[in-house]
Structure 1
Amino acid sequence: MATGPRYFVPFRRRHEGKTDYYKRMALLSSGTPRMVVRKTNRQIIVQLIVPEIEGDRTLVAAYSTELVKYGYKGSTSCTPAAYLTGMLFAVKALNAGYDEAILDIGLARAKPGARVFAALKGAVDAGLDVPHGESVLPDEDRLKGAHIAGYAPERAGDLVENVEAVAQAIKKELV
């Protein structure tokens, strides 16, 4: 192990691969609340977070497991679920009085059409002001679940109609 006055021990979360502090500092210096999108194996989580001295504070949160209350029947970790979760998050944020955010995808890979960008598209479609480029957003067929119905019609069932019905039910909650 290196020693001496020039040796720098990295931060624990950087060493564990959980935080990129350079990107985090750039996001925090904007002063705008962050729309944090995280994906797990079973769900999509979208939160509106502001930094404070004691630690980050969550203002609004939406989980893809909440979509069942609106009649969603598909998987809670797929692209249509991410889109609907982003839409639900935006409705909650707008009802709470927040109308803008910047996207924070953490260590997720920024690949065009990814689930994190599906959540962004849902938030933008619901009316939240998030700066983005159109080239990274997934196409409408993927957001509605047509790609799932194409390769697994027995599992998808009426997923496309279900996604559209849930999107309409979520938009009704916008005050």
Structure 2
Amino acid sequence: MKRKDKIFTVQFRRKREDKTNYRKRIELLKSGKPRLVVRPFLKNIIAQIIEFDKVGDRTLVSATGYELEKFGWHFSKGNIPAAYLTGLLVGKKGLKKGIKEAVLDIDGKTPLKGTRVFACLKGAVDAGLVVPHSEDVFPSEERLRGEHIKGYFELGKWNSESQFAEMKKKGVDLGKITDVFEEVRKKIMEM
């Protein structure tokens, strides 16, 4: 009687943990360009320009929402205006290091029009970085400036105990978010 053993092949650890989609990764690496990696979190957004290396990927430049405080941004670090400004910052840092082009890497996330990922991409493109994209995926200019946040705040229909509580503690006026956005944008563009 013949024995029918199955040979079991163990997947790569990062694939097993559902952290890396190697098919998408190889497609991005084939371009030969650095990757603009955007990772949104609830209270922050991280944007990095990463280059492939045989030993391991190298981060060339990085920016987070918390770096915006140096430029006078004291609002949420995870909203659409903060994502745009973070993209603008990483784009400017990349240009200073001689990086002129990149490809967007969103790591298996569903690409939805108008999200923080594409706000960050818009910021990098406005900084001068050449990244292949379609104009219709970007959020509107009003959302980039934070007018939707300002409008909601001025309606006054929000829960005073939880929503905007952190901003109240800091003494930040959300009615001025669009003005502060323009000031921070100007400061980043001048660096």
Q: Percent identity?
A: 49
Separation in 2, partners of 1:114, 1:108: 11
Deviation at 1:83, TM superposition (A): 0.1
Letter in 2 for 1:165: E
Separation in 2, partners of 1:141, 1:71: 20
Letter in 2 for 1:142: R
Deviations 1:97-133 (A, max 9, x none): 1111110011322000010000000011111111101
Deviation at 1:23, TM superposition (A): 0.4
Q: Which residue of 2 aligns with 1:18?
A: 19
Contact 1:47 1:61 in 2 (8 A): yes
**TM-score in terms of structure 1 length:** 0.92
Residue aligned with 1:17, SS:
coil
Letter in 1 for 2:88: M
**TM-score in terms of structure 2 length:** 0.85
Separation in 1, partners of 2:70, 2:15: 38
Separation in 2, partners of 1:109, 1:158: 32
Q: Which residue of 1 aligns with 2:107?
A: 106
Q: How do residues 1-175 of structure 1 correspond to structure 2 at under 5 angstroms? A: 4-5=6-7, 7-153=8-154, 155=164, 156-173=174-191
Residue aligned with 2:63, SS:
strand
- Structure 1 residues without counterparts, runs of 5 or longer: none
Contact 1:37 1:45 in 2 (8 A): yes
Deviations 1:32-84 (A, max 9, x none): 00011111222111111111111100011111100000001210000000000
Residues matched between the structures, number: 170
Letter in 2 for 1:13: R
Separation in 2, partners of 1:130, 1:98: 11
Contact 1:144 1:160 in 2 (8 A): yes
Separation in 2, partners of 1:25, 1:60: 21
Deviation at 1:19, TM superposition (A): 1.1
- Structure 2 residues without counterparts, runs of 5 or longer: 157-163, 165-173
Separation in 1, partners of 2:42, 2:144: 18
Hey, which bits of structure 1, 4+ residues long, moved more than 3 A? none
